[in-house]
Amino acid sequence: MRKRTPLSLAGFSLAVLAGLALASGPDIVGTWLGKTEIPDAGLDELTMVITKTESGYAGLSSDTLGYLAPNSEMREIKLDKAELTFSLPLVDGQIVFLRMTVDGDKMAGTWTTSEGNMGAIAFEKKK
């Protein structure tokens, strides 16, 4: 029977930890700066601040055109591998649903309102 050395156990531990990190998905915690084009309104710049909680994630978001109330609560935040989804209440009572793919310090995808409006959106993590 072959005796395990501390070095082989350390290598195994690192491999397990790396696998767990990949399985849990990308790191979305932090401040994200984004842009989207709103039909008939122009460029809207957004800020999201995402934190980790015991049960998942929490976040606040705001925008420069005023479609979101300042520090609007991000709802139903889900991260499935590299896909991030959540919703936000708009000041006019509509809900906007976002679906994005996270790639390191960038994410991009689409937004869709409860009335059917949609557009592209992209964020970059603030360093």
Kindly indicate the confidence band of residue 127, based on its pLDDT and cuts at 50, 70 and 90: confident
- For domain 26-125, the question of CATH label 3.40.630.30 is answered with no
Indicate left, alpha or beta for 40 from its phi (over 0: left) and psi (-120 to 50: alpha).
left
Q: What is the dihedral of CA 15, 17, 19, 20, to 10 degrees?
A: 170
Kindly indicate the confidence band of residue 24, based on its pLDDT and cuts at 50, 70 and 90: low
Q: What angle do CA 126, 79, 96 make, to 5 degrees?
A: 80
pTM over cut 0.75:
yes
DSSP bridge partners of 72: 61
Which tokens is 90 given?
A: 């708009």
> Using one digit for the tens of pLDDT, what is the confidence trace for 71-94?
999 999 999 999 999 999 999 999
Domain ranges, ordered by start, for the chain:
26-125
> Using one digit for the tens of pLDDT, what is the confidence trace for 29-48?
999 999 999 988 999 999 99
Q: Are 90 and 96 in contact (CB under 8 A)?
A: yes
Alpha carbon 40 to its chain centroid, in Å, reads: 26
